[in-house]
Chains A and B, each alone.
Chain A
Amino acid sequence: MGRTLPSATQVFMQEEAAFARFRRALRRTDQLALDDLFVSARQHLAAAQYASHALPFEVFLLAMLLEEHKEVLRLKERVEDILSRQK
């Protein structure tokens, strides 16, 4: 008996593909930034699968936000580090 539902990776690729037109109309630099967002969602596919959310894209958005926030925290730390060394 096989699995019936697509895997998280397959669902992710479908969701990414659904934004192909949006991506196409962006400037090249913006496209690369968008790609980064999708890559960050890929760091959390296991959790997205486990979540079994009816609308998986909502979970992927949350994952993107999570990675953005982590980056903000990292940058905050570095800025504080630099500032404290300047003193």
Chain B
Amino acid sequence: MKTSMETNIELRTGSWLLVVGPRAICPTLLALTARLAEVGPVRVLDGGNRFNAYTVARAARGRSDILNRITVSRAFTCYQVFSLLESTQAIQFPFVVLDLLSTFYDESVQIWERKRLLRACISHLERLEQAAGGVVSIHPPAVPSQAAVELLGLLQASAVDTFFVQPVAAAPEPMRLF
């Protein structure tokens, strides 16, 4: 069942989309990746250890040709995220950046340094979008902070479109009959 988010996401060359939502949206993003890989190569940059290949495989119905068209590269510190974006070539295949800010919430790196790195990352996103469309996902930090708000602000300013996905309200689940 495609969520409304998935049907609304359309990648266009010349811009990158920002998706902001709870971690629960990851499977949808991974399914999107599988869908994109049905037609051609997709590059995934994983900034938060989110790339559950089994979820992608399920969405791709186990097809190895699809799975072999997805390349993924993981970054575990904000420096590595920057380095990854810097070294990604601008070619005509879509890119998906998962959980870009996760490593930027690490308070052992000074906030001015994190902002500097993020600005540099954004300039690389702008470089990449010239050749192909992309999606960047963000999840809020475990502990809210002013720094997180500022970092998100920097990203929003540069994205053409931002999707905000609301966390599901904790209402009692209605009885599912179907």
Residue numbers of A with Cβ under 8 A of B are 1-2, 4-6, 11, 54-56, 58
Contacts and interface: CB of A to CB of B under 8 A. Distances in A.
Nearest to B80: A1
Given A54-B62, A55-B62, A5 B67 contact: no
B51 A11 contact: no
Dominant SS among interface residues on chain A: loop
Interface in B54-76: 54, 57-58, 60-64, 67, 74, 76
Contacts of B83: none
A77 B9 CA distance: 60
9 contacts: A1-B49, A4-B49, A4-B50, A6-B54, A54-B57, A54-B64, A54-B67, A55-B57, A58-B62
Nearest to B72: A4
Given A5-B52, A5-B54, A55-B62, 19 more contacts: A1-B49, A1-B74, A2-B49, A4-B50, A4-B51, A5-B53, A6-B52, A6-B54, A11-B54, A54-B54, A54-B57, A54-B60, A54-B62, A54-B64, A55-B57, A55-B58, A55-B61, A56-B54, A58-B62
Nearest to A2: B49
B46 interface: yes
Instruction: Please provide the 7 A-B residue pairs with the shortest distance between their CB atoms, ordered closest to farther.
Output: A54-B57, A55-B62, A54-B62, A1-B76, A4-B49, A4-B51, A2-B49
A12 to B, nearest CB: 11
Nearest to A14: B54
Q: Which of B46, B62, B64 has the most CB of A within 10 A?
A: B62
Contacts of B63: 54
Contacts of B67: 54
Q: Which of A2, A54, A55 has the most CB of B within 10 A?
A: A54
Contacts of A58: 62
Contacts of A5: 52-54
Given A54-B64, A54-B67, A55-B62, A4 B52 contact: yes
Given A54-B64, A54-B67, A4 B74 contact: yes
Q: Which of B49, B54, B57, B58 has the most CB of A within 10 A?
A: B54
A54 B50 CA distance: 17
Nearest to A52: B53
Contacts of B74: 1, 4
Nearest to A55: B62
A34 B110 CA distance: 55
